[in-house]
Amino acid sequence: MHDALTGLLARRPVAERETWRSLWDRLGDGTLGKEQAVALLASLTTRLPGPETLRALLDSLLERRPAAPAGRWGATVNVVGTGGGPATFNISTASAFVAAAAGVRVVKTGSRAYTSRLGSVDLLERLGVRPTASYAHTERTLEEYGIAFAGPFVYPAELARLARTVAPLGMKPFGGFLNALGPFLADLPVTAQVTGVSHTMPLPALRDLAATVTDRRVWLTTSTEGADELLPFADNTLHTATGTLVLKAGELLPAGGSLDELRPADPAAATGHFLDVLSGAAGATATRTVCLNAAALAVASGHATDWPTALAAAERAVATGAARELAERMRAARPTAAGVRRG
């Protein structure tokens, strides 16, 4: 059994990056084996290891990704949630469109559904919005639309190798681990990252991990309703490198509403419901929720300096139809041979 796996199962720190490099090398050459791959994922899903082990694990994966551009994408925010909380429609994806329509540069990362019926990738596929295929493609899409949905190229290839190794079991049983660490694996040259953390996720471990990130501002958000999004009818906490900020229910928006009004649409009607959300036709609670999260993206990225201004801009993007128009433009875009999306 590999030393990394032996350490995990014994609950000992595995803080040497070389140990993890060796494990990924064995996964790549096919000598790790299905049983050990399943045991690895099961151990990480059952209980995340300590911060030293997590950092070494992530660093060993991040160094295997394609090299990101040397410069940062100025005033650009990545939004991604951990999932696992109460079932809602794709709030973070809707918020990304609203924020972009309000002038915020947004990159959305995500995955197919592990703990929900419809992940962000599943929804975008139904909308006809294709993910980007490279860093250059992402940057071009940002310039054209102000928003981009980064494809799987941002994740280490080892995740796909793990999926192939444990087949036909699939990765869904290990969704807790993948959702918890996914936001830190999709490294992008952004200036800020807003990550919603549900009540099912190990917040202390993720806060420790976020504290080690030095190349971008990282906000982790939680709510008293357990969702991985900000909710206008709940108390919300933003965990940042400099402390915490609590947004009380009713502080920025009317406090009425409930999770029942944010429930996911039937997958067959998800596209229509999502476009209704963007145009403000899915109810006041849905509109307020999306605008509150869009405002967070504006403030985190530095596009806005205060919450009331950011919130007003998000509300205008919905009321004027700009958010839905942006989504419709991206749906109508067609890829060219060069990989640039054109309408």
Q: How many angstroms separate the CA atoms of 20 and 25, rounded?
A: 9
Helix (H, G, I), strand (E, B) or coil at 247: strand
Q: Which two tokens stand for residue 207?
A: 């806060």
All domains of the chain in start order, with CATH: 3-62 (1.20.970), 76-150+186-332 (3.40.1030.10)
Question: In terms of pTM, does the model score above 0.75?
Answer: yes
DSSP conformation class of 246: E
pLDDT per position as a tens digit, 251-278: 999 989 999 999 998 888 999 999 999 9
* Residue keyed to tokens 């067959």: 268
Which pLDDT score is estimated for 91? 95
Q: What is the mean pLDDT of residues 216-234?
A: 96
The pLDDT confidence band at residue 119, using thresholds 50, 70 and 90, is confident
pLDDT per position as a tens digit, 36-72: 999 999 998 888 888 899 889 989 998 887 777 878 8
pLDDT per position as a tens digit, 272-289: 999 999 999 999 999 999
Q: Do the beta carbons of residue 151 and residue 157 sit within 8 Å?
A: no
Q: What is the mean pLDDT of residues 209-224?
A: 93
The pLDDT confidence band at residue 220, using thresholds 50, 70 and 90, is very high
Q: How deeply is 183 buried, as exposed, middle or buried, from its count of CB atoms within 10 A (0-12, 13-18, 19+)?
A: buried
Which pLDDT score is estimated for 69? 80
Which pLDDT score is estimated for 337? 38
Which candidate, 178, 253, 265, 258, places its Cα nearest to that of 224? 258
The percent of residues above 70 in pLDDT, for the chain, comes to 95
Q: Which two tokens stand for residue 239?
A: 């965990």
Q: Which two tokens stand for residue 307?
A: 């919450």
Q: How deeply is 214 buried, as exposed, middle or buried, from its count of CB atoms within 10 A (0-12, 13-18, 19+)?
A: exposed
